[in-house]
Amino acid sequence: MRPEISVVLACRNEEANVEAIAAAVISELQTVCESFELIFIDNQSSDRTVEIVKGMCARDPRIKLIVNTRNFGQMRSPTHGIYAASGDAVISMCSDFQDSPALLPEFVRRWRAGTQIVLGVREKEKSGALLTFFRGLSYRVQAAIGDYPIIPNATGFGIYDRRVVDSIRALNEPEPFFRGLLVETGYSIEQIPYKRPARAGGRSNNNFFSLLDFALNGLAGSSKKLLRAPLYVAFFVGLLTLVCLIGAVVAAFTGYSWQLWLFAAMLQGQFFLLFLFLGLLGVQTALVSERTRNQPLVIERERINFDQRG
């Protein structure tokens, strides 16, 4: 039978946490539902994480495990686990207790009330000044040039209706920025603020460079305006070219040296053509991306007076 709730727990080198997080998740879910599964997806751990989870699988058939052949990164591995889930709703969380299991019953209650997506939003990130600055900068840049808004401090920890998961899966994204794709679907989203707890054990797999890589991939995956940026530059360079040409004409009629104006116009004209070409190439790349993405024209919220085949 299909479970009502699937919980996907991404892990890498979490031997100190996997047993405790499984017990905590089961304890919380048993208060609100009878049918659920836990799916651990391991992203090439080098410690005893896989061995420990295999032992839990032998003792409890509700616990499942996916072991990756290599480290596929923070985008692809958790998303693969979400796609492998079979529940009517899917909860995604980390295995290190930085996503609070205490929120799971409230997630389930709000989902049952009709909300397609419920996200936990951290009230405050505990990190150094440099990381805090760059995190805030990435949110501001994404808000300015992104195709859709990203919810600040929402890491993807939350519950998603089966329709949401199927809609995102149909996009066939090779590097899925999942929390951005949640917003892109247009389904209703509720937010639950919570305080980020400390890790229960072990060390975080994230550092400044891994988080920077994640932010850049997310920005590239959620903004097509970046591909059009050379066109905007070409527009301003074209205006400068026109100004230089006018300056050359005025200088020639007023007896001043016009050669430097003409040289500047020719130089600006070359940059104009270069950025124009890059901009058109970017637009073509965006079109190719859309045509190969398997993206539907729309994502329906509901249908009325249609039969099941329609």
Q: Do residues 293 and 172 lie in contact, with contact meaning Cβ atoms separated by under 8 Å?
A: yes
If we measure between CA atoms, which residue out of 120, 52, 98, 48 comes closest to residue 206? 98
168 CA to centre of own chain: 11
Q: Do residues 78 and 10 lie in contact, with contact meaning Cβ atoms separated by under 8 Å?
A: yes
Amino acid (1-letter code) at residue 236:
F
DSSP H helices, 85-128, are 104-112
Taking each helix axis as running N to C, give the angle between helix 208-222 and helix 178-185, from 0 to 180 degrees, rounded to the nearest 10: 30
- pLDDT < 70 stretches in the chain: 125-135, 137, 139, 141-147, 197-226, 286-310
Q: Output the six-digit token pair for 159.
A: 């519950």
The conformation of residue 76, written as its DSSP 8-state character, comes to H
Residue 294 and residue 297: Cα distance in Å, rounded?
Answer: 9
Give the model's pLDDT for residue 6. 96
Give the model's pLDDT for residue 298. 45
Q: How far is CA 260 from CA 243, 245, 257, 268, 274, in A?
A: 13, 10, 7, 12, 21
DSSP H helices, the chain, are 18-29, 49-59, 73-84, 104-112, 129-145, 162-170, 178-185, 208-222, 225-254, 259-292
Long-range contacts of residues 49-58, Cβ cutoff 8 Å, at least 24 apart: 49/11, 49/12, 49/13, 49/14, 49/15, 49/18, 52/15, 52/18, 52/19, 53/11, 53/18, 56/18, 56/19, 56/22
242 CA to centre of own chain: 42
- Can you name the residues that pair with 63 across neighbouring β-strands? 38
Question: Cα Rg for the chain, rounded, in angstroms?
Answer: 25
Q: Do residues 175 and 214 lie in contact, with contact meaning Cβ atoms separated by under 8 Å?
A: no
Residue 296 and residue 299: Cα distance in Å, rounded?
Answer: 7
Give the model's pLDDT for residue 197. 65
Calculated CA dihedral for residues 30, 32, 34, 38, nearest 10 degrees: -60
- For the entire predicted model, the pTM comes to 0.71
Residue 226: left if φ>0, alpha if ψ -120 to 50, beta else—which one?
alpha
Give the model's pLDDT for residue 128. 63
Tell me phi and psi for residue 71, to 5 degrees. -80, 110
Give the model's pLDDT for residue 149. 76
Give the model's pLDDT for residue 91. 97
Give the model's pLDDT for residue 256. 83
Upper half-sphere CA count for residue 247 (Cβ side, 13 Å): 16
Q: Indicate the pairing of strand 154-161 with strand 117-122.
A: antiparallel
